Amino acid sequence: MANHRVGFILSVKKRKKINLEAFADLCRHRCIEVVEIDLNQPIASQGPFDVIVHKLSDVIVEAEHGSQSQRLLANFQEYVFLHPQTILLDPLPAMTKLLDRFASYCIMNTLQNSMREKCICTPPYLEISTCDQSAIRETVDTRQLSYPLICKTRVAHGPRSHEMSLIFSADGLKDARPPCVLQSFVSHGAVLHKVFVVGEEHFVVERPSLKNFPPGPCDRKTIFFNSHEVSKPESCSHLTALDENTPRMAPPSRDIMAALVRQLRAELGMALFGVDVIVDIQTRTLTVIDINIFPGYEGVPQFFSSLLRHIESVLEKRGSLK
């Protein structure tokens, strides 16, 4: 008989991606029942829940415009308010903040200031909310962003969030589509280190990334690309192809990665997130370029056992506080 009940709210795609059925089987052997929560039905009648694991990004983003998503989100928030003993993985305010790339870059900037002695930084960035070309150019110059620039959608969720561009000059700024964020590009040897965090544990998976580009403005046309396609494990994009003579970069040290994760966990108040990290080929500085909500955990075979350990840990802590 199950001693605890854990509810999951995930999209169909996410459920299949992490193989929730297999996770439920693992939990069953530890006397934990896994329940898929239907947001269209009263949540209270599906409970009670000791823990709710969710990725409500779709609902949060759609609630900006759709009345149905507003209702679903309001019902969920009401349930959480009326059941304060239920542990959320992760808190809604923290998750909502990370859906805004500009807000997450502000968090990354705070991280840079607190971890300067560890040689961890984040590239200069700015938010673009106008189509006025002269205003955009002036802001880029004032904030001392350097070309090339990576242009990303401000909303860090949905298919469009993977659509990015590489802008090489002031003339190329016409290709920016506000609302968006601009971030100075850092050459990093076409290697992306994806850090997957599960509670107090983390895993680093190496992925392909954009090749090096010379610093400074040039007359090259804007390059449009899909970051998911470029950085998927089996990617063979021409944008990731390095010159054979390019030296191989050493991976970040485990100690620095662990310090980064500890600081981010404290800063975010979250347990399930990912961090995209690169190493600057010029300065060898560890550079944080993105933070992701409840990522896919591809390449992390220990994800199930780590998630179960974290759930058991938070249940144990809650029990000791009673």
238 is in an annotated binding site: no
Determine if residue 317 is labeled as part of a ligand binding site: no
Q: Per the annotation, does 7 bind a ligand?
A: no
**How far apart are alpha carbons 267 and 160 in whole angstroms?**
27
Tell whether 188 is in a known binding site: yes
Q: Residue 12 annotated as binding?
A: no
How far is C-alpha 37 from the chain's CA centre? Answer: 24
Residues with Cβ within 8 Å of 277's Cβ and at least 6 positions away in sequence, in order, are 192, 193, 194, 195, 252, 257, 260, 286, 287, 288, 289
Instruction: Find out whether 152 is annotated in a ligand binding site.
Output: yes
296 annotated to bind ligand: yes
Asked if residue 195 belongs to a known ligand binding site, the reply is: no
State residue 267 phi and psi, 5-degree precision.
Answer: -70, -40
Is there a binding annotation on residue 83?
A: no
User: Torsions phi, psi of 195, nearest 5?
Assistant: -100, 120
68 is in an annotated binding site: no
DSSP secondary structure of 64-127: TT-HHHHHHHHHHHHHHHH-TTSEEES-HHHHHHHTBHHHHHHHHHHHHHHTGGGTEE---EEE
The answer to whether the annotation marks 114 as part of a ligand binding site is no
**Residue 303 counted as an annotated binding residue:** no
| Cα torsion through 124, 130, 131, 132, rounded to 10 | -90
Residue 14 assigned as binding residue: yes
| Residue 29 is assigned to a ligand binding site | no
User: Is 55 annotated as belonging to a binding site?
Assistant: yes
Whether 202 has a binding-site annotation, put simply, is: no
Could you tell me which residues are annotated as the binding site for 1D-myo-inositol 1,3,4-trisphosphate?
14, 55, 162, 292, 296
Could you tell me which residues are annotated as the binding site for ATP?
101, 152, 183-194, 209
Could you tell me which residues are annotated as the binding site for Mg(2+)?
276, 290, 292
Could you tell me which residues are annotated as the binding site?
14, 55, 101, 152, 162, 183-194, 209, 276, 290, 292, 296
